[in-house]
């Protein structure tokens, strides 16, 4: 099962694994499901929908229905087992950004954490998961896949919010206090931090 978030609701892709790197090409939808998604996109509020991949002759992959982009980000841990969160546009978030041409997702994640938080000494521990969300852009809808990595930061580094990216605050939170931000973050971020 894979969740694709849109506002407060989601498309639930049944029998699809978010660990599949090519999920947006592999998950083909019937024309009736494409119509169902069109109706779903009329509002960010409402009910979730469940979709089962189809193998019909006219089925279409997700990457043909949406404009698809890749992003990457980091869940950063320090020497005190605290986790880094940024406050951007009135929500708690994790540092992330779009993958540049020729860049690996791991490199993007490291670059974005450094740029958005001012950290210089960080390293990737391992890949965590992919998350998916849809947002409107001009006259279309974008389906963003974000590749998340667990990272560690060397001690003694100053946190500097990248204000050009609307980041106004950066904090370290111990695991037992992370639940305090649950009500003011994104569903995709909750998927990333659910294992803490």
Instruction: Show the CA angle centred on residue 82, arms to residues 107 and 165, nearest 5°.
Output: 50
Give residue 17's pLDDT band: very low, low, confident or very high (50, 70, 90).
low
pLDDT at 58: 75
Q: Which residue has the higher pLDDT, 75 or 23?
A: 75
30-46 per-position pLDDT tens digit: 888 888 889 999 998 98
Give bridge partners of residue 122 from the DSSP assignment.
Answer: 153
Work out the mean pLDDT of the chain and round it to a whole number.
91
**Global model pTM greater than 0.75:** yes
The C-alpha atoms of residue 62 and residue 51 are separated, in whole angstroms, by 12
Burial class (CB in 10 A: 0-12, 13-18, 19+), 18: middle
pLDDT at 110: 97
Across the range 2-13, mean pLDDT stands at 92
- C-alpha dihedral (62, 63, 67, 68), degrees to nearest 10: 100
- φ/ψ (deg, to 5) at 152: -120, 145
63-77 per-position pLDDT tens digit: 888 899 999 999 999
Q: How many CB atoms lie within 10 A of CB 131?
A: 25
129-176 per-position pLDDT tens digit: 999 999 999 889 999 999 999 999 999 999 999 999 999 999 999 999
Each residue of 98-114: b (16+ CB within 10 Å) or e? ebeeeeebbebbbbbbb
Is the per-residue pLDDT at 18 higher than 60? no
3 state SS of 124: strand
pLDDT at 21: 65
Query: Is 148 in contact with 136 (CB distance < 8 Å)?
Result: no
Expressed in angstroms, the distance from the first to the final Cα of the chain is 21
Is the per-residue pLDDT at 20 higher than 80? no
Residue the block writes with tokens 């498309």: 11
């Amino acid at each position: 099962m894979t969740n694709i978030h849109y506002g407060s609701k989601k498309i639930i892709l049944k029998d699809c694994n978010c660990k599949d790197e090519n999920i947006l090409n592999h998950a083909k939808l019937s024309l009736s499901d494409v119509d169902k998604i069109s109706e779903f996109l009329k509002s960010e509020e409402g009910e979730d929908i469940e979709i089962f991949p189809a193998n019909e002759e006219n089925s279409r992959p997700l990457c043909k229905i949406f404009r698809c982009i890749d992003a990457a980000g980091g869940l950063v841990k320090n020497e005190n087992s605290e986790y880094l969160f940024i406050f951007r546009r009135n929500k708690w978030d994790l540092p992330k950004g779009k993958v540049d041409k020729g860049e690996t997702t791991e490199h993007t994640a490291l670059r974005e954490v450094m740029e958005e938080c001012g950290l210089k000494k960080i390293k990737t521990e391992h890949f965590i998961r992919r998350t998916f969300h849809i947002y409107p852009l001009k006259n279309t809808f974008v389906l963003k896949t974000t590749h998340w990595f667990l990272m560690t930061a060397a001690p003694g580094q100053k946190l500097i919010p990248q204000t050009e990216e609307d980041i106004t605050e950066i904090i370290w939170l111990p695991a037992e206090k992370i639940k305090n931000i649950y009500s003011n973050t994104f569903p995709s971020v909750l998927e990333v931090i659910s294992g803490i």
